A = this chain, B = another copy of it.
């Protein structure tokens, strides 16, 4: 239908009088942004965003011979990628082999489907998992990324340890190498350049972007307006909107200003709104991953989570302050637990992780010195008695006592009547002071949804699910790979695999004239 309309438009566009004659042709033509009278700059490929995906796309496009520019709205490059934990899901890596770990792309995909609750686009997931190893090898050979060789990490939801770890323990270990490579190819990412508009012409093709050069986040009117033409394609790799309270709470009203975020401040919705405005098919925008056990006093993920998870969730209780009662299976999946805490928080009820001296012992063994560090940072507090803890944290004491009695009963009988929580064999009844507590306020972490793309990373049109000519998307800006729950280490794989595919295909587009 749209194609026909476009043809009609093209037929008539030549003779503008025909256009004014109106009738079906004109009125059914594609919505259109007026073209600028002149372009300030012209490139084959224009990449929006300087994270894992955008940089990978730029490198591949450049290697294919295209002229490329990378635009980053913030003062520094790397977006959330550069503050990311730097682990990448790679089935069949040399590190796994050395540890004698059996793994396969199919097994990794199954893990992602299971945790994704069937919301994942299966073909995309499978292709990503199959490309994971060659892509990891590419980061070594092509970029010189340094990976820990001795071991692999295991994140929640993965059925085997398969997460490759950067030597510097951060996403910067990948991002900085991508930037180096790009520089060696003559491309330096530009910072403080905000993409204000995607310019889609009457023929339906995206032909460039309107930007603000010298932009000062978050001032939408700052910087100088410029028009940059993309003769072959624009690649959208602008990441998620976890830091955008207004937009995220429209998609999921639980995600109010009461929550924190692990994202950098620039993780906002402008590019999401703009890609929807020009006709991208947006999917699963309301699936936004939150970390359940983070402490409000800490930046990013912090360390209090190791107490809430490793001590309280396994050997203690999670309670709310109003009635001192347990409110969720302390070992349910992250989404269930984060949702439960957020719903209480939005009703003015606060959630705490509580463990006693026995409960923190295993953590002391596995992570020596960490508890002391937590107490120092005050993200975990110590009290001599339960009464002092309840008073100090303003938790309903009677309810708290009942909750502990309930858990102790579960430890004795091996069955938690209330939430059917798994009872750890090492668990002993609570009651040995001193007592420890941390406040839990979920932090918005990752957007699973985004632009609907095909296997070639084409951005698809909401009108007919066909590729929008001249437009690609990859990474957190795109949707459908992770489904309901993204597994740790899968974002890096997704970003680099589909970022490269987007760049390779963008460079192959026939230039418009």
Contacts and interface: CB of A to CB of B under 8 A. Distances in A.
A21 interface: yes
Interface string A335-354: 00001001100100000000
Contact of A227 (B27, B227, B279, B346): B27
A118 B31 contact: no
A118 B32 contact: no
A27 B199 contact: yes
A102 interface: no
A251 B26 CA distance: 31
A394 interface: no
Given A121-B253, A210-B27, A22 B1 contact: no
The quantity of this chain's copies bound in the complex is: 2
A140 interface: no
Contacts of A273: 462-464
A27 B32 contact: no
B118 A339 contact: yes
Contact of A29 (B34, B118, B227, B420): B34
Contact of A277 (B38, B279, B284, B339): B279
Interface residues of A, number: 65
A284 B1 contact: no
Closest 9 CB pairs of A and B: A22-B37, A420-B420, A118-B254, A26-B34, A31-B31, A27-B36, A22-B36, A276-B462, A118-B343
11 contacts: A21-B37, A27-B197, A27-B227, A28-B196, A28-B225, A31-B32, A118-B252, A118-B343, A118-B346, A273-B462, A282-B282
Interface of A: 1, 19-24, 26-29, 31-38, 117-122, 196-197, 199-200, 210, 220, 225, 227, 246, 250-254, 273-274, 276-279, 281-287, 339, 342-343, 346, 415, 420, 449, 452, 462-465, 480
